[in-house]
Amino acid sequence: MELSTERLSIVELSFHDLSDIHQLHSLKETDEFNTLGIPDSIQVTESLLNEWINQQKANPRVAYLFRVQLKKTNQFVGLIALTLGKLNFRIAEVWYKTLPDYWCQGYTTEALKELIRYGFSSLELHRIEAGCAVGNKASMKVLEKVGMVREGCKRKILPIRGEWVDAYFYSILETDQTV
């Protein structure tokens, strides 16, 4: 499965993406607000990738995980995902992680807009949610640019580098979708 925007190809993850994913997860910059931490080895990343691919293959499917790449060169930009909640609630959560070389160029916003569009139009979702650490100003900007609304703050919910950190929670509904 593949989604597409003006500048990006958003391609379902495969085992061929292991090296790029490991590089992304191994960077100090991309780990600053991440609960996973930097992997000790490529085997740790491989185990995570196996888990993600199994989520994609589950029946019923529980997640859509994608490699984001430049359309013209296929250069790896980052990851984006949509994890489905209970079917009767028609709800999902999105997350993303982008290589620092591609920050502040609109790629994450562009990919997230497309994933939200897909969630509402093809998966017939009612609500899409996201969360981010309160210090992650860049992620807040992305979420707000795509039309998500900050709903609140959960105290000390994210385990990041041995500390409990507060997180903001955002959502967008099918009825207020502007992307």
CATH number at residue 58: 3.40.630.30
Q: Is residue 43 part of a domain?
A: yes
Q: Helical H runs in the chain?
A: 18-25, 28-31, 42-57, 107-121, 137-145
pLDDT at 161: 87
Instruction: Pull the structure tokens for residue 102.
Output: 């591609």
| Residue 96, strand partner residues | 80
**In-domain check, residue 156:** no
Question: In this structure, which amino acid lies at residue 127?
Answer: R
Quick check: is 143 in a domain? no
Share of the chain above pLDDT 70, in %: 98
Query: In angstroms, rounded to a whole number, what is the distance separating the alpha carbons of residues 87 and 128?
Result: 13
Asked if the structure places residue 160 within a domain, the reply is no
Residue 154 counted as domain residue: no
pLDDT of 36 reads: 85
Is residue 99 in some structural domain? yes
Burial of 82 (0-12, 13-18, 19+ CB in 10 A): buried
The answer to whether position 151 is within a domain reads no
- The pLDDT score that the predictor gives to residue 34 is 87
pLDDT of residue 87: 84
In a domain, residue 139? The reply is no
Q: What's the predicted TM-score (pTM) here?
A: 0.94
Structural domain count, the chain: 1
pLDDT at 49 over 70: yes
Considering the chain, what percentage of its residues have pLDDT values greater than 90? 89
Q: Which domain holds residue 37?
A: 2-128
- Beta bridge mates, 125: none
